[in-house]
Amino acid sequence: MANNNKKKMLFTTPRGTAVYPWLNRADFQFDTNGQFKVNLRVTQEEAKELMENVRNAANDAFGDKAKNAKMPWRTDDETGDIVFITKSKFKPRLVDSTGQVIPENNEPQVHSGSTLKVAGTIYPYTAGGNFGISLQLAGAQIIELVERGESSLGFGSEDGGYVASNDNDAGVQDTSYNF
C-alpha cells in the first residue's frame, strides 16, 4: 500500500553540464507564473545513486504503482547520459565552487555548458490524474562558469563595414558588442 505521507527528501546531484539554465530569472514561456529551472546532464554511472533515491521515494509514495510514476530525468539520445530535470517557482540560491553564497546583486549569468551541482527536494506529486516525482530546485553550485561573449558568436572584425555606436560610453568609438 502506498504511503500517503509523501515524505520529502533532500538531494544533491553529482557534477554535471547545465542544459538550458534559467537560474538568474524565471522562464515564462510555458508557465505564466514563471519557473526557475535547469536540466543537468551527467553520465549514467554518476546518475545511479540519485536515480535510486528517486525510485525509493516513488516506492514510498506510490507503492505498487511506483513503476508507472513519471520520473524527473530523460536519457540523452546522442550520448546516453542522464539529464535530470529540476525546477521551482522560487529563485534558487547560487553558490560558488567554495560553497559561499553569491549575493544576488553579484550573481553571474549562468549559460548552457556551465558545470554545476544542483540541490533541492525530491518531491512526490499527484495532479490531474498524473503522478510522479519532481526535483524541486533550491540551489546550484557553480563549478565552472560558461559566459556569453563575443568569442562565442564566432564573428571577427570586417574592414570597411558598418560600425555601431556604443551607447554605454558617450563619445567613445568602441566596436565591441553593446550587451
Residue-wise pLDDT tens digits, 11-64: 999 999 999 999 999 999 988 999 999 999 999 999 999 999 999 999 999 999
> Mean pLDDT in the chain?
85
Within a domain: 22: yes
Helix (H, G, I), strand (E, B) or coil at 176: coil
Give a yes or no: residue 69 inside a domain.
yes
Task: Tell me, yes or no, whether 161 lies in a domain.
Answer: no
Asked whether residue 36 is assigned to any structural domain, the reply reads: yes
The domain spanning residue 40 has which CATH number? 2.40.50.140
Q: Give bridge partners of residue 133 from the DSSP assignment.
A: 124
> What DSSP element (H or E) covers 66?
none
Rounded distance between C-alpha atoms, residue 84 and residue 73, angstroms: 4
Does residue 116 form part of some domain? Answer: yes
Domains in the chain: how many in total?
1
Note the pLDDT of residue 95. 94
Q: Are strands 82-88 and 35-42 parallel, antiparallel or unpaired?
A: antiparallel
Q: Are 85 and 72 in contact (CB under 8 A)?
A: yes
Provide CB contacts within 8 A for 115, sequence distance 6+. 15, 16, 17, 18, 142, 143, 144
Expressed as residue numbers, the domain containing 34 is 9-148
Model confidence pLDDT, tens digit, residues 128-174: 889 999 999 999 999 999 877 544 556 667 777 776 665 555 555 55
For the chain, where are the alpha helices, taking DSSP H only? 44-62, 150-153
- Apex 149 CA angle, 155 and 15, nearest 5: 125
pTM of the predicted structure, to 2 decimals: 0.77
Q: Is residue 170 part of a domain?
A: no
pLDDT tens profile 62-71: 999 999 999 9
- Strand pairing partners for 141? 95, 117
**Is 108 within a domain?**
yes
Q: Decide if 165 is inside a domain.
A: no
